[in-house]
Chains A and B, each alone.
Chain A
Amino acid sequence: MTYIAKPKFHHPNLPRNELGLTRRDYEGSMSTLCAGCGHDSVTAAIVEACFELNLPAHKVAKMSGIGCSSKTPTYFLSKSHGFNSVHGRMPSVATGANLANNELKYIGVSGDGDTASIGFGQFAHAVRRQVDMLYVVENNGTYGLTKGQFSATNDRVSVGRKGQVNAFESIDLVSIAIQLGASFVARGFSGDKDQLVPLMKAALSHKGFAFIDVISPCVTFNNHGGSTKSFEFVRDHEHTVTGADYVPHRDEITAEYAEGSVIDVTLHDASWVRLRKLDATYDPSDRAAALQYMMEHQAKDEVVTGLLYLNTGDNELKEKMDMTSAPLNSLGAAELRPSMATLDKINAGLR
């Protein structure tokens, strides 16, 4: 029903952000996903995060591959340009777009097939290059759009819709991202917006490659008892690691927090992330510990959510490549095309 424009009418008392916009201004077209799809909640979280961060929507670019999750950019930020590319290749398109104009915010939405199977190679290299973007995998362990095949993130021994058993080892994108050097790695759950929205806000404020793996159960193909990515399984086994309560610097709001110590971390745009350690021994800045923690909890069949790893010390792609500060797409002939006199010198050197 995307050709039906959603009504612009909204309640006059809807809260407005600093740009004078309401949450409705950050929405897109009506979703055509199945009723109850986890992806629609992730979409709502993106809308909420962008609204609360006061992002100008036209300065955001939405990138996706192919799959149910890759359809979702149509359902948020209608004022942003979007690029729904080809299966598994969104990272390269996002990288090229990023190089052309580093002053936009890039949100890449992908699925577990798009990222952990066909797109596995490109994902790895986008992480390595620290492409400045928020990369969201809406992870349901299944190929929804082609009707329910196993994906690579589907846990071994989980029973497929038609009763087959998955015999292969599962790919954990969070561990892989940490291994490859992503500087912001988190996991959320589509049914827990209270945790997901602050994670997204922190990710969108982070400079570098920010990865959020969102368990987003597929209501049609994978939301059954044997699946480890169903609503029931995750609710039963979820082990929340850290809650990230995003606090913009200038507001200086201090929030209440539970037991455990607090770490204030300065991000590159001078705003703060205050991490609430629910588990007093967990340190999101220690890469090796994060991986160990992941493996320990994986062995217990636990889904670890929260901000698992944060590194504010690395620089992102444009800095790594020592590029000029002006966006490349803003440079014209005067800056880019040498003169005929210069060309004559080059000719002379070839004689």
Chain B
Amino acid sequence: MKTNDFVIKFANVNGSGSASANALFAKAIFRMGVPVAPKNIFPSNIQGLPTWFEVRVNDKGHLGRRDGIDMMVAMNPQSWDADVAAILPGGYLLYDSTFIREIDRDDIKTIGVPLTKLVNERFTIPRERQLFKNVAYVGALTALLDMDFEVVRGMISEQFKGKDKLIAPNIDALNLGREYALKYFDCPLDIRVATSDAVGDQILIEGNAAAGLGCVFAGATVAAWYPITPSTSVAEAFEKYCHQLRIEPDTGKKKFAIVQAEDELAAIGMAIGANWNGARAFTATSGPGISLMSEFLGLAYFAEVPVLLFNIQRGGPSTGMPTRTQQSDIISCAYASHGDTKHVLLFPSDPTECFDFAITGFELSDGLQTPVIVMSDLDLGMNDWTTAPFKIDETADLNRGKVLNAEQLDEIGRFGRYLDVDGDGIPYRTYPGTHPEKGAFFTRGTSHDEYAVYTEDGKVNARVMRRLAHKFETAKTLVPAPEFGQAEQGATMGLIHFGTTAIAVPEAMELLADRQIHLDTMRLRAFPFSQEAEDFINSHEKVFVVEQNRDAQMRSLLVNECGIDPARLVPVLNFDGFPITAVAIADMVSEHLGQGADDQAQGGFAAE
């Protein structure tokens, strides 16, 4: 029997209204205090193709994706065969028994509920019939999995508050499924939920919404964006929260500006223009947008204009897999644009960090006067995660970095936009309109001297370039430090990971421990890499690097930036568009270690 520890997967046709019923299901379990990790696996399409909703339920903190389905709710004839095949032996198949289906397996338990028949008997409007069919199977699940029905009922009332006429039919639909299940099946099944305190004060939210909210709390006033899967909901969340929190009470006017730009180049151009002029501005995009924005990123790097950019990574290259996740823009973001450029990257691993890194991102961007790219991904951005509640430091002011006002300009002699006054490589800037006589300068992408005057003197340009490199060194001391998985780290081998793979690592370490393999783990949270990160690598004989791309890009970046011998870094890769599983990590590590000496030279393994 498995209580609070199973994977249930819903197979639907997209555009059929299943998303809200499935979300209701996941949130109801969350409200029982049981942590959930729901994942939307959707096609690059609007209506008619298969879509899946995979929920891992686990109260021991194992919320990374897991292969093998304990219960399949198979509502889509198109994907029926594959769905049935995915069920673990001894698992359950819930299906609409109104229709005759061939079920070739004798090692699974089938639960046929005549959903269409039940719903058609009770409802007449076609749209209602379609929507309530989904609600009915949720109703059945409340009985089969021993969910708290009152929690679900409460959520329906909450969801339709103000549209009370919809509450009763929804409850009816729930009961149709629930009563049928109770009558014809032995409830609850071997897999079930039980009220728990594992959730505690955690919240359920998607990473993109957290990022958008974080921008509000960071004091961002301008957002320019172009729609692209999977980043659109960052801007949408920012807009929603701005409408709630940034309207002037007496005038009703907006203390923000959001522009849906004509393309990604315009989006980042606007964000840079606004930041140049003293407003915190950001944009959000995915891989293809990064390619388009690269010219502007080089300008912002060289002319030292702050800008915050969210890259919600998806399957590449090119148009790639727009609705699948990956971490394959590491190199293209770290070194975006032609010439010698390096950009600050932040790697959030859950929505709480998406929120925090929006705030940190703006601070770093203003403080370093350079672009900062928050490297999220589709898995984190577009799925609901169980995550720690958001917190801010109300006592801290919004730190805009080294900006001179009129009084300060009066106190100094000649202002030089690119003078390294403090020795940290970070000069001082002024906003347009500050002082009638002093402080004006030209922002340009062409080579310039310390006074922002155009120059073709190569030695001067080299001096400016060296200062930019020095500034990047300073950044190492300011970016979020890595996190270590163990209080005491004495193993001979290590494992580095970043971003959303973090959710699978603790479970992977437990699996490896069972196999007598012990690794110290380090989660990178930023680029440039700090001394701590380098020390970790240097204090272990061999270090595995877990990442979700084909070419082991983070590994390359570590080799390049820290001068590490490539032989000491072993890639552990996954690039099938799905989040890497703990089992896959553990298997790749132990396979590598179990290999003979002659196989070690091959390097890393990739998951198919």
Contact of B440 among A79, A103, A121, A323 (CB under 8 A): A79
The answer to whether B442 and A84 have CB atoms under 8 Å apart is yes
> Is B222 interfacial (CB-CB < 8 Å)?
yes
> Is A343 interfacial (CB-CB < 8 Å)?
yes
Name A87's closest neighbour in chain B (CB-CB).
Answer: B295
Q: Which of A56-64, A156-164, A280-288, A307-315 contacts B (4 or more CB under 8 A)?
A: A56-64
A340 with B204: in contact, given A121-B262, A322-B253 (CB under 8 Å)? no
The total of interchain contacts (Cβ-Cβ below 8 angstroms) comes to 228
Q: Which of B128-136, B429-437, B474-482 contacts A (4 or more CB under 8 A)?
A: B429-437
Q: With A and B bound together, what is the CA distance between A302 and B455 in angstroms?
A: 42
The answer to whether A59 and B444 have CB atoms under 8 Å apart is no
The answer to whether B269 and A93 have CB atoms under 8 Å apart is yes
A351 with B203: in contact, given A92-B261, A92-B270 (CB under 8 Å)? yes
Name B248's closest neighbour in chain A (CB-CB).
Answer: A324
User: Shortest Cβ distance from B351 into chain A, in angstroms?
Assistant: 9
Q: With A and B bound together, what is the CA distance between A129 and B202 in angstroms?
A: 43
The answer to whether A337 and B392 have CB atoms under 8 Å apart is yes
The answer to whether A332 and B398 have CB atoms under 8 Å apart is yes
The answer to whether A82 and B443 have CB atoms under 8 Å apart is yes
Enumerate chain B residues within 8 angstroms of A82, measured Cβ to Cβ: 440-444
> Is A7 interfacial (CB-CB < 8 Å)?
no
Contact of B274 among A56, A96, A339 (CB under 8 A): A96
Contact of A100 among B31, B219, B281 (CB under 8 A): B281
The answer to whether A59 and B295 have CB atoms under 8 Å apart is no
Enumerate chain A residues within 8 angstroms of B246, measured Cβ to Cβ: 336
| Chain B interface residue number, banded | 35 or more
Q: With A and B bound together, what is the CA distance between A60 and B555 in angstroms?
A: 48
Contact of B445 among A59, A86, A124, A325 (CB under 8 A): A86
The answer to whether B254 and A321 have CB atoms under 8 Å apart is yes
**What 0/1 readout, one digit per residue, does chain A (55-93) give for beta carbons within 8 Å of chain B?**
011110101000000000110001111111110010111
Enumerate chain A residues within 8 angstroms of B256, measured Cβ to Cβ: 323, 328
The answer to whether A337 and B217 have CB atoms under 8 Å apart is yes
Name B31's closest neighbour in chain A (CB-CB).
Answer: A351
> Is A350 interfacial (CB-CB < 8 Å)?
yes
> Is B47 interfacial (CB-CB < 8 Å)?
no
The answer to whether B270 and A93 have CB atoms under 8 Å apart is yes
Enumerate chain A residues within 8 angstroms of B255, measured Cβ to Cβ: 323-324, 328, 331, 335-336
The answer to whether A96 and B245 have CB atoms under 8 Å apart is no
Q: With A and B bound together, what is the CA distance between A288 and B434 in angstroms?
A: 43
Q: With A and B bound together, what is the CA distance between A340 and B396 in angstroms?
A: 12
Q: With A and B bound together, what is the CA distance between A336 and B221 in angstroms?
A: 8
The answer to whether B221 and A325 have CB atoms under 8 Å apart is no
Q: With A and B bound together, what is the CA distance between A57 and B438 in angstroms?
A: 11
The answer to whether B262 and A350 have CB atoms under 8 Å apart is no
> Is A101 interfacial (CB-CB < 8 Å)?
yes
> Is B193 interfacial (CB-CB < 8 Å)?
no
The answer to whether B433 and A57 have CB atoms under 8 Å apart is no
A100 with B222: in contact, given A122-B262, A337-B217, A351-B201 (CB under 8 Å)? yes
The answer to whether B453 and A104 have CB atoms under 8 Å apart is no
The answer to whether B391 and A85 have CB atoms under 8 Å apart is no
Q: Which residues of B contact A (CB under 8 A)?
A: 31, 199, 201-205, 213, 216-219, 221-222, 224, 245-246, 248, 251-257, 259, 261-263, 265-279, 281, 295-296, 299, 389-392, 394, 397-398, 430-437, 439-446, 453-455
With contacts A2-B453, A58-B440 known, what are 8 further pairs, Cβ within 8 A?
A58-B435, A100-B274, A122-B265, A322-B252, A328-B255, A328-B274, A351-B31, A351-B203
20 residue pairs from A and B, CB less than 8 Å apart? A61-B433, A63-B273, A78-B440, A83-B273, A92-B261, A96-B224, A99-B274, A103-B433, A121-B262, A122-B265, A125-B266, A321-B259, A324-B248, A325-B253, A331-B221, A337-B398, A338-B216, A338-B245, A343-B217, A350-B204
4 A-B pairs with the lowest CB-CB distances in the bound complex, closest first? A96-B273, A92-B269, A329-B278, A96-B270
